[in-house]
Amino acid sequence: MTSLPMLPAIMIDMAGSLVIIILSFLSLRYAWLLLRKQSENFLWGFLFYFCLTLFCFSVSRAVGHLIKQILLILDNREQWQVLAPYSGGFNTLLMISLAAVSIYYHKGIEGYRAIQRKAHSLKEANDQLEISADKLLQLNVDLEDMVERRTKKLSASEKKFRNFFINSKDMVYFCDSTNRLVNMNSAGLEMLGYSMEEEQELKLHDIFCNEEDLENYLETIVAVGFVEDLEVEFLRADGTVIYVLLSATAVFGENREFTGCEGIAKDLTRVRTMMEQLASSEKMASVGQMAAGVAHEINTPLGVILGYSQLMMDDFTPDSEEGQSLIVIERQAKACRKIVADLLKFSRQAESARENILINEVLSDVLAVTEHSLNMDHIHAHRDFSEDLPTVVGDTEKLRQVFVNFINNAHHAMEEEGGGDLFLSSHFEEESNRVVAIIRDTGHGIPEDVIAKIFDPFFTTKSVGKGTGLGLSVSYGIIQEHGGVIEVESPAHGKEGELQGTAFYVKLPVLSGEPVSVNKK
């Protein structure tokens, strides 16, 4: 074994053993570094244990070869023969361990791949969850923005409705299925004359004047779902009646059951009064034209009858039968001539002067003339004139005639009651720039079915022989000629809020320039 030809082989074997030890150490170190870097990586763990087994096997194998070559060089073959079985057995055990590690490598790889697939699947699921979470987060943000925008719109809409409900000049109301008024705006309460405290106790039955109108309203709104432009009469808290234009919509629940209604009512009382006055004005204009023609036609024959009757009275004594008949003819002819004169006044065929007038002076003059006869019938006159009233332009005599007519009518109404109080007042109405004179009595008032006819020519409620029915018609024409209006209220509101008698309101425009003379044909 010490011969020279074997020496290279021995040196190469020993060098190879050293190289195996170095390389196995380096591989073990590299596997250890990988394992430290990614301790959770299954492959690096398996590779580390594989390199550790391979390192042990390589070191054992290389050390065995080195010991063998050293003992052979030292010619200790017997000693190697003793160690060789132990070295071979140890190497065999290490070889079996390395084979076992190699065999389970595939199983480990399959398990690792299964784990990797599962982890990848979980990662994809996690990615999908993250995407879904992002989408859900974005949807939540969009939903919050949408809710905020919708809330702003609802708030703006609610604000508009609230402003409409509060500021509307018409009645806006809501009622439930029992016809109880659950809510009403201030304009509606003011229109009906109720307070906020009384609102909760109100029902539709309390404000509808006619039961038939209420039944028609309820039947229509339940059957059709709405009512539109329904003209009805409402009853105020003080008992007066107002005319309204009503529109309402039914409110139904989820099962189409009737739960109430909501509506708007517009006060048409002033409009209706104006329309009636306009119709009366047009009617009186036509009657005036006719009256003028009739007056001219019969005025001449009446003058002839009156003249001849007066001539014939000179031929008979007043005590004779013929004289008495002539007296009757004269009296009746004069009565007819007065009617003709009233017709001419009504048709405004007489001349009218224009001058500056203080309405308080006209009222005082009229009252001075009529107060004595009023006192005789226990009628007490009360004055309430505003000072420093603006000047109006008109015909003093004709305006006196108007106020005398009103006072005479009040006198007649209170005479039947055995006396009363007559109130004369005046004030300035800034919104219309007119002076207002008011004549109010405490008489029996004017029936509702009559009040629309009082300005009609020849209409009178007095007994035969006590009136021609032209007084108010003439008064109406005179005030129209002056550019004013006449309004009537019956029953009238007194100072203490009581309802009694009749009030006439004469409203005349104030002087806007220099007065001019106007001759009416």
Q: If DSSP states are collapsed to H, E and C, what string results for 208-272?
A: ECCHHHHHHHHHHHHHCCEEEEEEEEEECCCCCEEEEEEEEEEEECCCCCEEEEEEEEEECHHHH
- The per-residue pLDDT for 464 is 44
Q: End-to-end CA distance of the chain: give it in Å, rounded.
A: 172
- The per-residue pLDDT for 507 is 92
Residue 382 parent element (H or E): strand 379-385
Could you give the CA distance from residue 85 to residue 197 in angstroms, rounded to a whole number?
120
In the predicted model, residues of the chain with pLDDT beneath 50 are: 1-3, 349, 464-465, 513-521
- The per-residue pLDDT for 353 is 67
What CATH number was assigned to the domain covering residues 355-509? 3.30.565.10
């509307």: which residue's tokens? 168
Count, residues in the chain? 521
- The per-residue pLDDT for 521 is 32
> In the sheet where 258-267 sits, what is the strand order?
181-184, 171-176, 258-267, 241-252, 226-235
Q: What is the dihedral of CA 274, 278, 281, 287, to 10 degrees?
A: -140
- The per-residue pLDDT for 458 is 61
- The per-residue pLDDT for 436 is 93
């004269």: which residue's tokens? 330
Contact 373, 452 (CB under 8 A): no
pTM for this predicted structure: 0.39
Q: Where are the alpha helices (DSSP H) in 313-389?
A: 321-346, 359-376
Contact 475, 406 (CB under 8 A): yes
- The per-residue pLDDT for 74 is 74
Query: What's the half-sphere exposure (Cβ side, CA atoms, 13 Å) at 352?
Result: 25
Rounded alpha-carbon distances, angstroms, from residue 332 to 199, 323, 338, 344, 458: 62, 14, 10, 18, 18
Could you give the CA distance from residue 488 to residue 454 in angstroms, rounded to a whole number?
10
Beta 503-509 vs 434-441: how paired, if at all? antiparallel
Spell out a b/e string for 104-117, using b for 16 or more CB atoms within 10 Å of the CB, else e: eeeebeeebeeeee
Give the pair of three-digit tokens for residue 499.
Answer: 């309802």
- The per-residue pLDDT for 297 is 67
- The per-residue pLDDT for 119 is 78
Q: Which CATH class is domain 273-346?
A: mainly alpha
Contact 94, 53 (CB under 8 A): yes
Give the pair of three-digit tokens for residue 88.
Answer: 């071979």
Could you give the CA distance from residue 17 to residue 64 in angstroms, rounded to a whole number?
9
Please count the other Cβ atoms lying within 10 Å of the Cβ belonging to residue 9. 10
CATH architecture of 171-267: 2-Layer Sandwich (3.30)
- The per-residue pLDDT for 255 is 80
Could you give the CA distance from residue 31 to residue 457 in angstroms, rounded to a whole number?
129
